[in-house]
Structure formats: C-alpha cells, structure tokens
Amino acid sequence: MGNGQIRRPSGHVFRVERRAGPVWYAKYRLPSGRQVQRRLGPAWTSRGRPPAGYLTKWTAQELLRRTLDEARRGTLPGSVQTGAKFADACAEFMRYAEHDRCLKPATLRGYRSIIAAHLVPAFGEQRIEDITTGEIERWRAGLGSHKREALANSSKNRIATLLHGILRRASKVWGLPINPAAGIERLAQPRLGSIDVFSPEEVWALVRAAASEQDAAIYLTAAFTGLRRGELIALRWRDVDFAQSAIRVRSSYCAGALTAPKSGKVRSVPMAPDVAAALARLSHREWWTGDDDLVFPGEIGRYLDGSALRRRYIAALERAGLRRLRFHDLRHTFGTRMIAKADIRRVQEWMGHADVQTTMRYLHFASREDDARLVAEAFAREHDHQAAVQSRGHA
C-alpha cells in the first residue's frame, strides 16, 4: 500500500480445533490494509439444526460477508485507527461541554460523576473504535448489579445518554464511522408519580414557623411565584418591580456559580400582594437594599448558603407540624394552584418550562371550581336543561 491505494476488503473463514470443541474464526483485510483475525463462535459439526450461538460453515461465511460489507461501507467498528482511548474521548467531551457549549457547573459536575463512577471503569482504556453496540448493551444490562442497590431504568438511561454524547463527539473529532451507542434503545421508565404539594393553610403555617423574617419571605415567595431555590438566591432588588407587581427572573445561583435560569430565558412572574408586602418589609432593613443587592442575602451580603437554607426549612416544617415535603414542592404548589386559574401557556411562561409537556403534568392534580357544575350540566335531563334556561331568562 505504498502508493496509497485503497484495497477492497477480503477474507475467509477457518475452523480451529480447541479442547472445548471446534471454533470458527474469520481472517480478513480492511481497506486500510490492516489484517484482522476474529473469533466468530463455536462450530456445529453434528446433523440437524444447530443450538443458539453455534455456527455452521455457511453461517460463519454469512457473518464474514456482513463484516466485509460493513468494511466497504465504512461502518465497521474498528475499521478506523484513531489512536484514542475512551478516556481521551471523555476528556474531549468535557472540554467541549464546558468551553464550547458553556453548560452549567451543576450539569458538568453531574457529567464528571457519571464518567468517574460508571463510564471510565467500563471503557476507559479501550480504543474508541473497538467499542461495539452489543458490548454497550451488555454493559448497561449489568449496571448496578454489583452495588448494594440496583440502578433504576431512569438512571441507566441517563448514563447511556451521556455515553452517546461522548461517542458522538468522538465521531466528529476522530472520524469514527459510526456511533455504537446510537443503536441503543431507551429502557422503559415508570411514569411520573403523584405530585405532593402544600395547601394554602400549610404554606402560611410554614411562614409563621420560619426562623427569621427573611426565611418567611423566601418560603412565601417560593410558593406564590414558583421560583426555583437557585433563582430565589440569585434574586436582586432591581428585579422586584413593585409598581408592576412583577418579579423578573434573570439568573440562578447553584453550586457556587451564577448562571442563566434553567430554561435559558429571562421571564416575568406575577407578584401577589402578600409577596409584595413581605418583600417591602425586607426592603426597609438597614443593609443590602440597593438595586444590585440580593433580596435574600447570606453573610455580609453574599449569596445565601443553599444547604443551610434547606436545613432551616426542614426545622420550620417540624416546628409547624407539617409533612416533610421538599423545598421544591413549594414550586409544585404554585404550579398546581395556578393551572386551575390560568391557561396552560401562561403557567408555562411563569414557571420557565421549556416544554409545555412539563407544565401539563399539573393538569392531573388540579381541579377547577366549576368542573362539577359543567359535568352536571352536560348530563342534565332535557327538562332540567329547559328549566335552567327559563330561570336564567326570568333573572
């Protein structure tokens, strides 16, 4: 191949006698000129239909033919020599995610955790061109089997999705002919379960049990606006519009970094009178009331410690004698209450959902005040309907 000419892939099958029984092998040459010898499977030499996994000479030759066809199309795993290991692909993906795509620190931290715990131990030293779809499927099937608790399908899907992204990036950088993770189907996941929310009375009980006026205002604002915890921590006075009764959500603070809101868009949320009153009282404190100051500051005006806020929230639940719902369930409380009062598009906009399907989950947990009356009217007998019409006419 000194003249740079591309060879047509060719090869043959042969049988090797082993102590455990005969085995079929294939030997073939790739277009690059590299020779490959590959074990195909145990040979079937008896009469009749071979058991699953055993190969006759004809089925061994058929496997070779498919391999050579993939080599000619450029889709055969291992046909490209990249010189890169999977660990190299992970490093490139994280560089790309952090610097080119500018993903949030919390997202990057989650990626690093999955890579370190699951992906590098399984594929780290392997050449990226040698990773196959079948190998990935077998690996995923065993995820969590050696741990104290098996992983849920949702976790397995999340890990496989990251693997797909890493190999997709590797395909672009190193010229892999295919992404072996592209053929992996998602595992079935149970549908989202019930949403647990506070009643209005429970929200006020939580507010009364707060350890400070600021914490009380945070709990009330979370329940009455649906802001996420990171959005509350990042809120500044310039974004509280008392004149327009609105709060503008511009950023979020999480894992020590200030980022855009989860949807990536600035949004405006209605500010109920009770929230306005609570924030107005905070605005009269001695310090941290300038436009650029935080509404809910921590020590010396810096960002509030989210973990400490969570601990104080749990303590407030206990003092109020309430169920131990998550802080995030204050946001769900807003979603379920508002879906019964406003159209779904407005609720989607207020909550900052990128997908309306996320907002629609609240429809299953909220009933409107006149629902029962509408059903009754739909099934009313004819004379009842006429009587109702006449009574409205007289009125």
- Top-tier CATH class for 200-365: mainly alpha
Is residue 333's pLDDT more than 80?
Answer: yes
Is residue 114's pLDDT more than 80?
Answer: yes
How large is the average pLDDT for residues 316-341?
95
Nearest CA-CA partner of 131 in 63, 92, 80, 97: 80
pLDDT at 2 (0 to 100): 45
- Tens of pLDDT, residues 229-257: 999 999 999 999 999 999 999 999 987 88
Domain ranges of the chain: 10-73, 86-174, 200-365
pLDDT at 3 (0 to 100): 47
Both tokens of residue 282? 């905070």
How large is the average pLDDT for residues 359-370?
76
Question: What is the fold of 86-174?
Answer: DNA polymerase; domain 1 (1.10.150)
- Secondary structure (H, E, C), 71-83: HHHCCCCCCCCCC
- Tens of pLDDT, residues 25-47: 999 988 767 788 989 999 998 88
Is residue 1's pLDDT more than 50?
Answer: no
pLDDT classification of 4: cutoffs 50, 70, 90: very low
pLDDT classification of 76: cutoffs 50, 70, 90: confident
Min mean pLDDT across 137-146, 161-170, 329-338 is at 137-146
Cα(279)–Cα(242) distance, rounded to whole angstroms?
A: 9
- Tens of pLDDT, residues 89-104: 999 999 999 999 988 8
Is residue 23's pLDDT more than 50?
Answer: yes
pLDDT at 377 (0 to 100): 78
Helix intervals (H) in 305-355: 306-320, 329-338, 344-351
Task: Please tell me if the domain spanning 86-174 has the same topology as the one spanning 200-365.
Answer: no
Both tokens of residue 115? 């890579």
Cα within 13 Å of Cα(113), Cβ side: 8
Is residue 366's pLDDT more than 60?
Answer: yes
Cα(326)–Cα(315) distance, rounded to whole angstroms?
A: 12
Kindly state the percentage of the chain with pLDDT values over 90.
60
pLDDT at 382 (0 to 100): 58
